[in-house]
Amino acid sequence: MADTKNRVALVTGGSGGIGRAVCERLAREGYAVAVHYAGNRARAQETADAVAALGAKSMLVVGDIADETQMTTAFDAVESEFGGIDVVVNTAGIMLLSPIATLDLDDLDRMHRTNIRGAFVVSQQAARRLRSGGALINFTTSVTRLQFPTYGAYVASKAAVESMTMILARELRGRDITVNAVAPGPTATPLFLDGKDQAAIDNLAKAAPLERLGTPDDIAETVAFLAGPARWLNGQVLFANGGIA
């Protein structure tokens, strides 16, 4: 295990289900954690309080991840408070489902702005700021392989994130910075469960050989591995899905 006691992590979407689990998991490893949020300050504060309760330093930063000025300010604030950044975990994203034939193109634009431009802006800042020995962890989805109907536009945005992540890993040659992506399978978060009836949830739970949905803690464990000890994993997509794909 890498020495994490003096490391600093910035987690975008830290007020969400997976984002909060990641913040708490890294706090248990001793990271100082900057909890990013875009709109729900109260939920982000709950995450920051949970991090502090685990004995780790915490702070809040706010901003639209697709706005380069706001994210520059957010990264500046973390560096000012904690002295640098070692790990960036980009969990922030949106998912709007529809058959391709009937998709509202405004929804396509919304997802692409957050999921592609946002990931690009955060990755760009991370590439400029991460200290030697650092890690950038983006988020994609196992549906890039599972190819569920109604996920077409969402998967298109996440496939772009996968490709960008692979290229950035190679562009940072010589910096001792790893760049990877986590691809969760069906995970019991509000984002995933919204709009699904119990039968659909049960079917998805049975699809994995482990016969359950993933939990935010399952995903956070994968992130902690990539953030700390996994220094020989670089330019990879890790499918955290219980064997569903």
Spatial separation of the C-alpha atoms in residues 147 and 163, rounded to whole Å: 17
Cα radius of gyration rounded to whole Å, the chain: 17
Angle of the 68-82 helix axis to the 118-129 helix axis, nearest 10 = 40
Please tell me which residue in 31, 37, 151, 154 is annotated as part of the active site: 154
Tokens of 6: 């003096």
With left for phi above 0 and alpha for psi between -120 and 50, is residue 119 left, alpha or beta? alpha
154 given a catalytic annotation: yes
Short-list 59, 85, 63, 79, CA closest to 13:
63
Spatial separation of the C-alpha atoms in residues 38 and 113, rounded to whole Å: 14
Tokens of 123: 């990755």
Tokens of 158: 């996440």
- Residues involved in catalysis: 154
